[in-house]
Amino acid sequence: MRVPLGGQVLRTRRVVSTVLALVLLAVPLAAAARPASASEPGDTAEQALAMINTYRAWLGLPPLTRHPALEAAAQAHARYYQLNYGDPSLAGMGLHQEQQGKPGFTGASIGDRAQAQGYSGSVNENIGLSGSLTTSVRMFMGTVNHRLPLIDPRYTDIGFGWVSEGDVRIEVIMVGTPSWSESASPEWVAWPADGTTGVDTHFWGEAPNPFAGASFPLGYPITLKYFGPGDVVFTSATLLADGQPVETLFTTGNGWLSRRTALVAATTPLQPGVTYTYIITGMANGQPFTHQASFQTASSPDEPLARDGSSAAAQLPAGLAGAPPAVQRVWWSADAAVWLELEDRSWIWGPDIWAAIQEPYAESPGGQRPAFYLDKARLEITDQGSDPASPWFVTSGLLVRDMILGAAQVGAHAFQPLGPAQIPLAGDPAALNPDAPTYASLHGLAAIAPGRARPDRAGQPVVEVLAKDGTVTLDPSLGTTTYGWYDPVTGVNVAAVFWEWTQAQPWDWLYVLGHPISEPYWIRARVGGVERWVLVQAFERRLLTYNPANPAGWQVELGNVGRHYYEWRYGQPPPEE
């Protein structure tokens, strides 16, 4: 059975900076929750994070990453509550506050506590008293103001703190981002997500009341938030139960978290096992919009939230679902649009991780670091104890550099000799593409040794042809593109077709590609059994190819260097996805 939590307190608060705080406090009057188990197996924080990131994945949002500073701040506040349990100041609106001089004090406000642990930026905090992190997450998703921080695309970091000893039960979830922006992508975030099943039937309320003057319980609340440019005006909302109209409350949020958000709830609790459709219309940035989605309520009290038949973290591709959230976030920011079929283009990293292994690296703890192989790259975490919010916490391996050099890097200054990779730079596998130049063909040309800098040739046509034996000839008939940029760091010219494509991407080119280490060369390679001219250029981390015979949008692609490197280093074909 569902158990009302009565006077238990849930609040959320946003701090814009450590100097100026804009605060919204929300206190549910009562909330429905699944019964908390006496003991939850495994790491409860990881379970809660998997739930939140699964819900975010349903909405096309990047996963949150556990941040040690937010984790420390959340756990310290849970500890403060435990040490001062029964203190009247911790009732009602004071649950988020600490008083200097009392046991466990780390900061008066949420922002103070986050800053004391080394986190700066915008932060938010949800607090539950259910005795279970996962139960509290489910409760938060059934409210308005507590749901919104968990599915806000602007937040990147999260921390968990909890105590469950005797009568003391508290769960603290902090989210944050180093830099705040008014807009974000995707522009629309709606909950429940289209196709969600197992949705609760009741909204037990919160204070301040998002539906002013309404009596609780209401039907499970629906939120549609706009993160795009310009203003938004919501003009109508319709709720249908198996096609029949349902009486609703409809308003636009006026709190900090709920602004630019349509709020919809049936005037009475929803019916179990029924399909509901909501339709919300209005004007956004001067353009009319209609948002429609459907969900199904739970048929029994213990039915979990699910979508597409799954409630597990496998809403991400299977290999990525088991990777650290920081790795998931790197992949998501570049390839989620392809995975969700929102964009028709080539992968930046690849459709999934197909090998996750420990590889030797002298400077890593224990001399090993986790490496995650995708078709087009390898992601690795050299120091798992460093700041996961750092953009270089997860790095992309210098795979192309290693394969051309002929040695796998196993430390900051240590290499394992293997010989240059005899793997074609482009096109079909070597058995079907025996005459194509390989990584080894660039061994004597690439900027992997001193004295190989080339002069700046910007504006000149690219007419150099690379043969398998490493010799270079000229073919003026191939000059369909020019040199577009010169990298003074490596002394290498970049083809305009590659540089223009790179500069049009939303990601940091140096993080993804590294510096260019070879000039662009035309090669002959078999592609799908057909011999073609392909322009190739080696960067430290990636190989770019240009095939003018491909359709628009697919002419420039990233080579499958993750698969090439694995085959070269381990002497066997990579596992099938």
Section 498-524 average pLDDT: 95
Q: Which pLDDT belongs to residue 416?
A: 97
Q: Which pLDDT belongs to residue 503?
A: 94
Q: Which pLDDT belongs to residue 38?
A: 31
User: pLDDT by residue (tens digit) across 319-347?
Assistant: 988 888 889 889 988 888 788 776 788 89
Share of the chain above pLDDT 90, in %: 70
Calpha distance 323→91 (Å, rounded): 39
Q: Which pLDDT belongs to residue 34?
A: 34
* Residue 90 pLDDT grade (very low, low, confident, very high; cuts 50, 70, 90): confident
User: pLDDT by residue (tens digit) across 374-384?
Assistant: 999 999 999 98
| pLDDT for 16 beyond 60 | no
* Residue 309 pLDDT grade (very low, low, confident, very high; cuts 50, 70, 90): low
Number of H helices, E strands in the chain: 11, 31
Amino acid 500 reads: E
Position of tokens 């921080």? 149
| pLDDT: which is higher, 505 or 401 | 401
Section 288-315 average pLDDT: 80
Q: Is the peptide bond before 429 cis (omega within 30 degrees of 0)?
A: no
| pLDDT for 145 beyond 80 | yes
Section 45-61 average pLDDT: 88
Its pTM surpasses 0.85: no
- The candidate with the shortest Cα–Cα distance to 62, out of 246, 241, 439, 327, is 327
Q: Which pLDDT belongs to residue 491?
A: 97
Share of the chain above pLDDT 70, in %: 90
Calpha distance 73→68 (Å, rounded): 9
Q: Which pLDDT belongs to residue 553?
A: 82
**Exposed/middle/buried for residue 438 (C-beta within 10 Å: 0-12, 13-18, 19+):** buried
| pLDDT for 35 beyond 90 | no
Residue 13 and residue 125 in contact, taking contact as beta carbons nearer than 8 Å:
yes
User: pLDDT by residue (tens digit) across 180-201?
Assistant: 888 998 999 999 999 999 999 9
Position of tokens 């199904």? 296
User: pLDDT by residue (tens digit) across 224-242?
Assistant: 999 999 999 999 999 999 9
| pLDDT: which is higher, 217 or 41 | 217
Radius of gyration, CA atoms only, the chain: 27
User: pLDDT by residue (tens digit) across 94-139?
Assistant: 788 999 999 999 999 999 999 999 998 999 999 998 888 989 999 9
Residue 173 makes CB contacts below 8 A (sequence gap 6+) with: 48, 74, 125, 126, 127, 128, 133, 136, 137, 140, 150, 158, 159, 160
Q: Which pLDDT belongs to residue 335?
A: 87
- Nearest 5°: the CA angle 152, 154, 159 is 75
